[in-house]
């Protein structure tokens, strides 16, 4: 299958060529013709499959015909986080450079004034997080009656973050004749219900999980005692040809403490987690992308969906509690044809978690034995072990260094994952966590228990229209962009 066979315009094919893509990915090959035929669509796909281009490309061609009107966006893309919204905006800039389309990005933490100005001038594509969109809608700054195309991206993550009631409200404000595209990595019952209610005779496309099928990623689990994890990590960082790595932890406190510890041992490490404000997260990510630091210690919430290329290694410093997170985490490596390595540290307490991961990915992850790793029940499960090269098979414990104790606060700390409880427990509106798209000044509230006040009241204290909550540099597309 070639891009030229999908029915896209010549101008768009030129942009695809310029992006350097040889052929469409499976989701693109299946979705693009249907979207161009104005069908509703459910795409079961996650980041890494090329799903963004599968809706951005046909949207550009659809929107090429028609006129913009003030306050009435012609299409709407809903994203769960500011980062993902910004990534989709980048895609529109990349593929839409041969088209005259206007785009506005409505995300928390950015001045509202410019966003309102953009809306007043008329936009073809509105990319928004649900919270900010509802704020503007309730202030009468936006009308959704001219919006004929809706994309709900990362629907299962929207569910995790408590956005489904907002999405239902938003859907009910759009014309019933609109075209709706829904993308989700999984299809839990509430998402199925949402799709049944708001999509009409959708085409259903499911593509393979990129990570579990990805032979480009060499996966290992390493048995280790909790206390020996940091030493094991340092050992692997020094001996496994690590050029760049993302190191995932389950808790924000672990992220902070591990990054500090790595730095104190001379590693070039940064951190990204849900307690950091938006500008700090972006700054840290930019340092990583630019190569100023080569190790990024991360939590799932902060890192999910981010497209960071060329990572040689992923370390699961903690076995993820949710097996889906395993797939998301290791998908950060082995991207775009490059090979990558993923190590998962497994303590005796993680037996059930790793079991769930292996059930989801459909096979046992080979055990990697590092001789002398403290507490390692090497090959105890009778599996074929991937043995470290002889030169590497020394005890990771550095001579003369005191064994490090697992920080007590790791256990005391509220898990980052607690911000998004099990899906079935979720939709109670008054128990929503603080959203990722709340203004930067509110982000620190994530460490406090979620407020019991109704979500609508939480929004009663929205960003002041002209306040500058965003402290970092604001790329042009974050406020408003003209694609020309």
249, 258 contact by CB (below 8 A): yes
User: What's the count of helices (H) and strands (E) in the chain, helices before strands?
Assistant: 18, 16
Binding mask 319-348 for ligand AMP (x = CB under 6 A): -----------------x------------
Binding status of residue 49 toward ligand AMP by CB under 6 A: yes
Give the span between the Cα atoms of 126 and 104, in whole angstroms: 5
Q: Which residue in 30, 44, 48, 469 binds ligand AMP (CB under 6 A)?
A: 48
CB of 403 to ligand AMP, least distance (A): 41
Say how far apart CA 293 and CA 286 lie, in whole Å.
9
187 vs 207: CA distance, rounded Å = 13
Nearest residue (CB) to ligand AMP, 25 versus 75? 25
Closer by beta carbon to ligand AMP, 289 or else 414: 289
Cα separation, 383 vs 367, whole angstroms: 7
Q: Specify the stretch interacting with ligand AMP by CB under 6 A; choose among 21-29, 178-186, 241-249, 363-371.
A: 21-29
50 lines the binding site for ligand AMP (CB under 6 A): yes
CA dist 235 → 246, 267, 451 (Å): 16, 12, 42
Q: How far is the CB of 52 from ligand AMP (least distance, A)?
A: 3
- What residues contact 135, with CB distance under 8 A and at least 6 apart? 112, 459, 462, 463
| Residue 25 sits in the site that holds ligand AMP (CB under 6 A) | yes
User: Residue 51 interacts with ligand AMP (CB under 6 A)?
Assistant: yes
Chain position whose Cβ is nearest to ligand AMP: 52
24 binds ligand AMP (CB under 6 A): yes
Strand partners, 315: 247, 343
Please tell me the distance from the alpha carbon of residue 427 to that of residue 421, in angstroms, as a whole number: 10
Residue number with CB closer to ligand AMP (62 or 84): 84
Q: How far is the CB of 436 from ligand AMP (least distance, A)?
A: 18
Q: Does 93 bind ligand AMP (CB under 6 A)?
A: no
Binding flags for ligand AMP, 291-320, as an x/- string (CB under 6 A): ----------------x-------------
Pick one of 15, 30, 34, 47: the residue that binds ligand AMP (CB under 6 A). Answer: 47
Q: Are 144 and 174 in contact (CB under 8 A)?
A: yes
What residues numbered 105-164 form the site for ligand AMP, per CB under 6 A?
none
CA separation for the pair 236, 419 (Å, rounded)? 31
Q: How many residues bind ligand AMP (CB under 6 A)?
A: 13
- Can you say how many angstroms the Cα of residue 112 is from the centroid of all Cα atoms in its chain? 24
* Among the listed residues 30, 34, 52, 180, the single contact to ligand AMP using CB under 6 A: 52
368 Cβ contact list (under 8 Å, min separation 6): 220, 221, 222, 343, 385, 386, 387, 388
Please report, as ranges, the residues that interact with ligand AMP according to CB under 6 A: 21, 24-25, 28, 47-53, 307, 336
């Amino acid at each position: 299958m070639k891009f030229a066979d999908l029915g896209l315009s010549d101008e768009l094919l030129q942009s695809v060529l310029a992006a350097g893509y040889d052929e469409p990915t499976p989701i693109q090959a299946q979705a693009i013709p249907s979207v161009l035929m104005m069908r509703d669509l459910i795409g079961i796909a996650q980041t890494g499959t090329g799903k963004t281009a599968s809706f951005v490309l046909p949207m550009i061609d659809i929107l090429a015909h028609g006129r913009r009107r003030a306050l009435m966006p012609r299409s709407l893309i809903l994203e769960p986080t500011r980062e993902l919204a910004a990534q989709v905006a980048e895609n529109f800039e990349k593929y839409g450079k041969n088209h005259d389309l206007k785009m506005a990005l409505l995300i928390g933490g950015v001045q509202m004034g410019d966003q309102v100005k953009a809306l007043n001038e008329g936009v073809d594509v509105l990319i928004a997080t649900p919270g900010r969109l509802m704020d503007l809608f309730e202030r009468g700054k936006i009308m959704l009656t001219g919006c004929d195309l809706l994309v709900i991206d990362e629907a299962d993550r929207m569910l995790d973050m408590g956005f489904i009631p907002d999405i239902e409200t938003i859907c009910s404000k759009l014309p019933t004749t609109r075209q709706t595209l829904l993308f989700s990595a999984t299809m839990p019952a509430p998402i199925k219900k949402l799709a049944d209610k708001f999509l009409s005779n959708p085409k259903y496309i499911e593509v393979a999980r990129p990570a579990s099928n990805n032979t480009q990623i060499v996966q290992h689990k390493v048995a280790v005692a909790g206390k020996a994890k940091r030493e094991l990590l340092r050992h692997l960082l020094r001996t496994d040809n690590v050029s760049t790595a993302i190191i995932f932890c389950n808790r924000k406190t672990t992220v902070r403490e591990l990054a500090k510890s790595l730095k104190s041992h001379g590693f070039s490490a940064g951190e990204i987690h849900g307690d950091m404000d938006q500008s700090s997260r972006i700054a840290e990510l930019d340092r990583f992308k630019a190569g100023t630091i080569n190790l990024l210690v991360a939590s799932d919430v902060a890192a999910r969906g981010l497209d960071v290329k060329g990572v040689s290694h992923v370390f699961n410093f903690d076995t993820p509690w949710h097996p889906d997170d395993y797939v998301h985490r290791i998908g950060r490596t082995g991207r775009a044809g490059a090979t990558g390595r993923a190590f998962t540290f497994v303590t005796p307490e993680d037996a059930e978690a790793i079991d769930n991961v292996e059930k989801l990915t459909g096979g046992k992850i080979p055990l990697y034995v590092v001789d002398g790793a403290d507490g390692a029940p090497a090959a105890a499960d009778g599996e074929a072990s991937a043995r470290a090269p002889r030169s590497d098979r020394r005890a990771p414990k550095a001579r003369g260094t005191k064994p490090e104790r697992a920080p007590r606060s790791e256990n005391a700390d509220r898990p980052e994952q607690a911000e998004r409880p099990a899906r079935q427990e979720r939709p109670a509106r008054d128990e929503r966590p603080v959203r990722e798209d709340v203004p930067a000044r509110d982000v620190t509230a994530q460490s406090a228990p979620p407020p019991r006040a109704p979500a609508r009241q939480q929004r009663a204290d929205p960003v002041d229209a002209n306040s500058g909550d965003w402290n970092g540099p604001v790329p042009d597309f974050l406020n408003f962009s003209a694609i020309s």
